[in-house]
Structure 1
Amino acid sequence: MTANKQDHQPTSPAPAPSRGTSGPTSTSPDAAAIWRAVRGPLLLAALIILVVSATVLVTGGRDRGELDPRGVDPAGSRALAELLRREGVDVVLAGTGEAARLAVEADPGRTTLLVPFPERLTDEQMAAVAVMRPARTVLIGPGDATLATFGLDVRDAGDADITDLEPLCDLPAAMRAGNADLGGTGYRTNVPGAARCYPADGSPSLVVVPRDPPGTDDAVLLGTGTPLRNDRLDDRGNASLSMQLLGTHPTLVWYLPDGSDTGDEGLLELLPKGWRFGTLQLGIAVVLFALYRARRLGPVVTEPLPVVVRATETAEGRARLYHRGHAVDRAADQLRAAARTRITARLGLTPGPAPEPGEGTAAEVTPAHLVDAVCTRTGRSPADIHHLLYGAVPEDENGLVALADHLDQLEERVKTGERQP
């Protein structure tokens, strides 16, 4: 029997702790480590918030979109709105169909209704605008469906380039304005008394159509809103033409839907386009940063063990466990199995078939074959050999020790070939 590893000092001692340490080092991150890990993302987020806030403060939220009377960006129309106000025109921005209806009904005979993007209106918004009867209705880039909804006998003649065009008509406003940046969409109409101006590719891009009954109101169709933009207002006769078409009456209702009257917009739809685009960019940046900082699986790294355990120490430890548990039967089985394995190899016997799952861990020769071979080698009786290799369990530890001695003697006789007298 051998001794347990726990009862003896290991032959290879564990590495000594580093100088200056009094105990095991904690692997949990402390406050300083957490701050070093998160300060980068926090500083980046603070910088983004600072830049966005400064941008909003500087611009004042005035870059609102194309043809917006509040927008000061190149595509906005604040310059035109201010010029009209200086000429005494009351410019009313309507964000809903109800607001536009109330503004028109306040003085329908002295009101101009401007719809910059009729093709973007829903069916309900289009129907609500079509029944309004202001003194003048100005539509920018309407298609066939919009023209039919407004009851206009006009057809879409197709797209055309936006360029410097001559009036080539007798409309007083066009004759006074002269050349202007028009085109975009051309129209065809046979309505008597309709003015057809600024032809592009053979089709007029400005059409003024009297509505039924005659003399009550008219509809102005513009193929493009380019003359109304801030960056094009001072080119050619754009300002003159825009002010004459929109400033004919004391009130101008600028219908630019904000989406609040459709009832199906979510939170993202209520945000301005610039904020939605910025949020998308911020989300992409966060994902890329997370991928950059994420842990990745690298190659397998081998690590030396702190203690080298010898095979003899493992055997001693197992023997000590058997001793403490008084496992005489288990120890005897292990001694006999090891002896049979060594004797089989010494005699050059071929093991039998491998055991079925659960029936053993190694293939052995049959007991009769092994006993006959050992008897032939040593001259001992089969009963003695069978008792040593396959006999009963010893009654106590003294019997176990005696069994170990007899097995050692048997192995020695098999090794030397000495026969029993």
Structure 2
Amino acid sequence: MSRTTALLRRHRTWTVLGVVFIAALVLTTVLQLQPRGDRTPLSTRNAAPDGARAAAEILGRHGVAVEQQDSLDATLRALDAARRAGEGTTVLLYDRNGYLSRDQLQYLGGATDRLVVITPRLNTLQGITGGILQAGVVKDGTKVLAQDCIIPDPAAAGAVTAKNGFLYDGEVVCYAPQGGQGGLYAGSEDGRTVVLGSTEIVSNGALAEEGNAALVLRSLGAEPHLVWYLPGISDVPATKQPVTLAELAAPWTHVLGPWLAFVAVLAIFWRGRRLGPLVFEPLPVVVKAVETAEGRARLYHDAGAVDRATEVLRAGTLVRLARILRLGPDAGAAAIIDAAGRHLGRTPEEIGSVLNAAPRAEAELVRWAQQLDRLEKEVHTR
């Protein structure tokens, strides 16, 4: 037996630990040096099903220079460089978190030749030109929508997938569902602003289905330069710092405050009493939310507070309807009623007659609550 073998056997515990440590160190270093994939939805560097790497590569093969940016400043610099080079530009905007303000959106729309927006929110629609409005969602179970217009791009692309899509209404509309209002494709008459109501059309997972690739190529490849803009948190406009309590206080409080503190300390020593030992008591039991709601309902019933119960039911229904119709937390009652009417194919007066009812007795309140429940289920299922 050699001396080295005997030494390793004698210190085999430390030898095994050293080998494990070195192996872990090497593995960690290799993993850190490997490039990390981009998992951002609709990113041109994301090869996952929800990414858009395939669309960017197809556009590049057809001569379109695709450039992804994640800030407004970088996007505007890219547009300015393309303008100085004499190249037309298209901007794809996918602001899924609603970071951009109305002024930023208007400035961006004026700086590019063509703006293609993917599933915009209400505040995003208010900032872009073209008069495009939300018109609801594609019904569950609808997988494909056929083109029903003479707009060049959709007419050449044909049918597209419509799963989890949103509907929009504008000066020109295409891919409208049967019996519905708006379409999966909406834009302005001059073609400078286009809204696509589905991320599936652009994503890697569904790009090869139906006419998705053709619609993406024609909508995004109209100009030789494409800026793929995914706004980030750095694009949120900086707001003014809130006023501090010291700034709101009057000048004389700087003298009165310390004096009052000194008087309070004297009062504590004057009137304070020695407290006994701490007594530990069990914490209150946890009350379920449904029990709290039932308890409040009993209080309203015992007090005969029909008006108060009416306002609570109306406010809760409006909040849930706004969430179902994707109107955002700042939507008013009139906007929710109008959107619900468009979604159900009814007039706003018909929807408003239900939501704005004012029951005076408990029996009327029960019947009205049942009407609200039926209305909310109808909006949710359609």
TM-score under structure 1 normalisation?
0.46
